[in-house]
């Protein structure tokens, strides 16, 4: 793989989608070949699995839910991410494997070692690893205010969980950032959109291929 694979992670309302879009626009304007995508989703099959996972209401077992996230990811990687990286492009992905570890491993399964082990095993089957992961961090009150301000109405299965769940998810991201400290860059995302974007660009710029 010769391209650059960037992921954005963090809790809901941290500003991942906003920052991913602005970063993609900036890099495209500089002449880079950029694919902006998201998980779960990014291909027709993975988007169908996204709908099932976020809004299906089927009450999947915990292991089945993890495997469904990885089924979507496998399709996304094989059909979209890996080919783009092989062409030397930049992939910016809104959430990736760290979200499965944080939400399913720490949030839903309370850090159960067996579940974290399953996630690690499945992660080992994914042939790409992000070169750089931005961990966007905001206090819960800031995230809640942003989500309330958005007011788009449709609440997914994870957003509907309570504060204790989201605190475990935040703890999961913290554990990942400490473990994978070279790949993960923690970003204080409570500032203005422009300030946060500048922090991301300062880190990405030295890593870019020549446009
Ligand atoms: N999930 C999982 O469980 N397991 C997995 O393996 C994966 C995902 C891959 C995906 O939902 C859900 O799937 C997610 C985790 C789970 N559920 N949760 N919770 P999603 O992708 O639709 O939702 P999200 O990732 O949580 O995104 P979000 O709620 O849209 O938040 P965001 O992308 O971090 O924020 P945003 O959309 O960029 O901004 C939110 C609002 O704040 C918006 O009105 C912005 O204009 C505003 N904003 C953004 N930045 C700022 C700043 N700096 N200042 C002020 N206002 C701001």
Smallest CA separation from ligand 1 atom 35, residue: 15
174: nearest Cα among 123, 98, 113: 98
Atom of ligand 1 at shortest range from CA of 53: 13
Look up the CATH number of the domain holding residue 15: 3.40.50.300
Atom of ligand 1 at shortest range from CA of 166: 19
Alpha helices (H) in 79-208, listed in sequence order: 82-86, 97-99, 113-123, 140-150, 163-179, 193-204
Instruction: Encode pLDDT of 162-183 as tens digits.
Output: 999 999 999 999 999 999 999 9
Please determine, for residue 211, whether its predicted confidence score (pLDDT) is greater than 60.
Answer: no
Of all residues in the chain, what percent carry a pLDDT higher than 90?
A: 91
What letter would DSSP give residue 210? P
Q: Based on the structure, what is the number of domains in the chain? A: 1
- What's the predicted TM-score (pTM) here? 0.97
Pocket of ligand 1 (CB under 6 A): 12-18, 38-40, 54, 69, 95, 99-100, 103-104, 146, 149-150, 156, 158-159, 192-193, 196
Residue 148: what pLDDT?
Answer: 84
Counting every residue written for the chain, the total comes to 211
168: nearest Cα among 115, 96, 92: 115
> Ligand 1, residues 95, 160, 197: which to mutate, most atoms within 8 A of Cβ?
95
Atom of ligand 1 at shortest range from CA of 95: 9
Q: What is the CA angle 32-36-38, rounded to 5?
A: 155
Q: How far is 27 from 16, CA to CA, in rounded Å?
A: 16
> Ligand 1, residues 22, 64, 92, 103: which to mutate, most atoms within 8 A of Cβ?
103
Distance 103 CA to ligand 1 centre (A): 13
Smallest CA separation from ligand 1 atom 47, residue: 146
pLDDT band at 55 (very low <50, low <70, confident <90, very high): very high
Mean pLDDT over all residues of the chain?
95
Residue 209: what pLDDT?
Answer: 77
Range of lowest pLDDT (15-29, 43-57, 147-161, 180-194): 147-161
Distance 86 CA to ligand 1 centre (A): 28
Residue 60: what pLDDT?
Answer: 96
Rounded average pLDDT over 188-195: 97
Domain range spanning residue 178? 4-207
Instruction: Encode pLDDT of 145-162 as tens digits.
Output: 998 877 667 889 998 899
> Ligand 1, residues 25, 76, 99, 165: which to mutate, most atoms within 8 A of Cβ?
99
State whether residue 185 is helix, strand or coil: strand
Do 151 and 26 contact (CB within 8 A), yes or no?
Answer: no
Of all residues in the chain, what percent carry a pLDDT higher than 70?
A: 97
């Amino acid at each position: 793989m010769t391209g650059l694979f960037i992921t954005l992670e963090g809790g809901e309302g941290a500003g991942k989608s906003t920052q991913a879009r602005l970063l993609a626009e900036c890099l495209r304007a500089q002449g880079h070949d950029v694919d902006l995508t998201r998980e779960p989703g990014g291909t027709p099959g993975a988007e169908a699995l996204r709908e099932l996972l976020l809004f299906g209401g089927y009450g999947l077992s915990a292991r089945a839910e993890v495997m469904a996230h990885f089924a979507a990811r496998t399709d996304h990687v094989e059909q979209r991410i890996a080919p783009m990286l092989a062409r030397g492009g930049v992939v910016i992905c809104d959430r990736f494997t760290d979200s499965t570890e944080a939400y399913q491993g720490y949030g839903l399964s309370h850090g159960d070692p067996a579940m974290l082990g399953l996630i690690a095993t499945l992660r080992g089957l994914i042939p790409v690893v992000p070169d750089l992961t931005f961990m966007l961090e905001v206090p819960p009150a800031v995230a809640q205010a942003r989500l309330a301000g958005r007011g788009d109405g449709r609440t997914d299965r994870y957003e509907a969980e309570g504060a204790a769940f989201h605190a475990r998810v935040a703890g999961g991201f913290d554990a990942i950032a400490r473990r994978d400290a070279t790949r993960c860059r923690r970003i204080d995302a409570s500032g203005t959109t422009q300030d946060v974007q500048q922090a991301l660009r300062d880190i990405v710029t030295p890593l870019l291929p020549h446009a």
